[in-house]
Amino acid sequence: MNFTSTRNENLCVKFSQAVRDCIPEDGGVFIPTDIEDLRRWIYYINKKTTFTSLAGTLTSAFIGDEFSPIICNKIAMDAFPFSPVLKQLDDRLFLMELYNGYTGYHRDYGVSYLCSYLETTSELNGGNALFLDFTHGNLGAVLANTLRGKKHVKAILVYQKGTVRGLEESDLFWNGGNIYPVEMEGSEEEIKAEIAKVFADRLYVHENTLTVANTTNVCRLLGQVFFYPYSFAKIKERIYGDLYYAMDAGNYGTLTAGLMSWKFALPVNGFVIPSTNALSRDGMGNPVILDSFVDVDKRGAVNPIAPANLERLEHFFGKNGVMLKNFVYPVEVSEFMAESAAKELYIKYGVYCDEQAARAYAAAKETASDILDEDGAVVLFSYSHPSIHSDFCRHAIGESPDIPSIISFSLEHVDLNRPFAKGAEDLRKIVAEVNKGF
């Protein structure tokens, strides 16, 4: 599979280069340029197909021109010692639990897949990879789990002061581990701006093998594509009409992955999301991407630390607003609607849900009469273990589930007792130090 840029369709690179480079030199983001038609394979898989075998087969289909099927299966096997859980709630509603990984967040899947890809391919081809990312804490916790024992991938993680969590002493770089956590004072925007200064020097990024672990990276995004054919395989014998997916907007990575699945010929009819300021409806009820009012050639370069999935969505649909209208359904969801949706899921189905899933369910309920046919169904994505949103659960339904020990540990605060980084120059010094550790 080849990739091009959202800002230069003449660019064509292999998957491995797109993963390593993070963003194209033109300042856009990478997107697939040649979409595989996997229709025969999608209709062949069934409810017995495991998540790991599906991921291995799809990896081979996507990048088989670069690596053998054996290597592609190894990437998937190493990435996924866990699997999503799909539950049927009624004839028209399914719940996909995506929090069965290391830290109770759906991003565990994409991060683990990206790390497995980088480690496996580095072992084959030589070289190393170094993540440089901002994190609120969860990314550090999942990377700590996925990078243990790896020899070719390390991570420098920048935290706001006092937000380091979920790391063991053995994970830390200065103790022989693969994680170099560093705190920085300032707002999230100020810290991300300092990291962006490091990535602005393309030669420096290449020489120091820097990349990111967020959904700016197409490999991280590909790890979320697997959610869709896996859920379809589980339910295709139980549905007879249109199929829709409902999810929280987040940074639009999961939605972008869903549209990639649709382009691979997955039979999906649309995606329902709560509205945001960035993607909502206009006065005529049409979906609108706010950024689209500014041409891409008049925008600044994408900051790799801030995923630009909306730019990918723009590229999917171009100027075809009708196509966007028929695939993406943003719905205004109030706090009251989200709480009512959480209560209904619990009372009607005995399901605890995180706040994001509640918002997505509220959006699906609001639009169901307009989009679902008589035999249609909705797959609701639950991103996070509901115990992580215990305050929301207690407020909405009066109680919350117990928090599993592995998730509890990922939330434990860590005192680094080390000097703060002051800006981009300090980060470059840390990059040099960590690269010497390979």
pLDDT at 289: 84
pLDDT at 320: 58
CA distances from 186 to 156, 193, 226, 313, 404 (A): 18, 11, 37, 31, 33
Query: Looking at the predicted structure, is the pLDDT value of residue 215 above 80?
Result: yes
For residues 12-31, average pLDDT: 90
Query: And the tokens for 122?
Result: 């580095």
For residues 175-200, average pLDDT: 95
pLDDT by residue (tens digit) across 295-332?
Answer: 777 788 888 888 889 999 888 887 556 677 788 999 99
Query: And the tokens for 162?
Result: 């006092």
Report the distance separating Cα 407 and Cα 234, nearest Å.
27
The domain that holds 208 is classified in CATH as 3.40.50.1100
- Per the domain annotation, does 401 fall within a domain? no
Query: Looking at the predicted structure, is the pLDDT value of residue 137 above 90?
Result: no
Tell me the pLDDT of the chain averaged across its residues: 91
- Per the domain annotation, does 121 fall within a domain? yes
Note whether 160 and 389 are within 8 A (CB). Answer: no
Report the distance separating Cα 217 and Cα 249, nearest Å.
18
- Per the domain annotation, does 79 fall within a domain? no
pLDDT by residue (tens digit) across 371-419?
Answer: 877 788 999 999 999 999 999 999 999 999 999 988 898 889 999 999 9
Q: Which of 24-28, 63-67, 98-102, 305-309 has maximum average pLDDT?
A: 98-102
pLDDT by residue (tens digit) across 347-382?
Answer: 999 999 999 999 999 999 998 888 877 788 999 999
Report the distance separating Cα 23 and Cα 201, nearest Å.
12
- Name residue, tokens 């100027």: 319
CA 187 to mean position of chain CA atoms: 23
- Per the domain annotation, does 149 fall within a domain? yes
User: Which letter, b or e, does each residue of 90-108 get, where b requires 16 or more Cβ atoms within 10 Å of its Cβ?
Assistant: eebbbbbbbbbbbbbbbbb
- Per the domain annotation, does 164 fall within a domain? yes
- Per the domain annotation, does 167 fall within a domain? yes
Report the distance separating Cα 281 and Cα 49, nearest Å.
38
- Per the domain annotation, does 227 fall within a domain? no
pLDDT at 321: 63
Report the distance separating Cα 343 and Cα 357, nearest Å.
12
Report the distance separating Cα 20 and Cα 63, nearest Å.
14
CA 373 to mean position of chain CA atoms: 30
Note whether 277 and 290 are within 8 A (CB). Answer: yes
Number of domains the chain contains: 1
Please give the residue range of the domain that contains residue 419.
108-216+412-435
Please, what is the Cα angle at 3 between 274 and 317, to 5 degrees? 40
pLDDT at 145: 93
For residues 333-356, average pLDDT: 95
- Per the domain annotation, does 145 fall within a domain? yes
pLDDT at 319: 59
pLDDT at 301: 85
Q: What is the pTM of this model?
A: 0.94
pLDDT by residue (tens digit) across 116-132?
Answer: 999 999 999 999 999 99
Instruction: Name residue 183's beta-bridge partners.
Output: 159
Report the distance separating Cα 373 and Cα 384, nearest Å.
29
Query: Looking at the predicted structure, is the pLDDT value of residue 98 above 70?
Result: yes
pLDDT at 314: 86
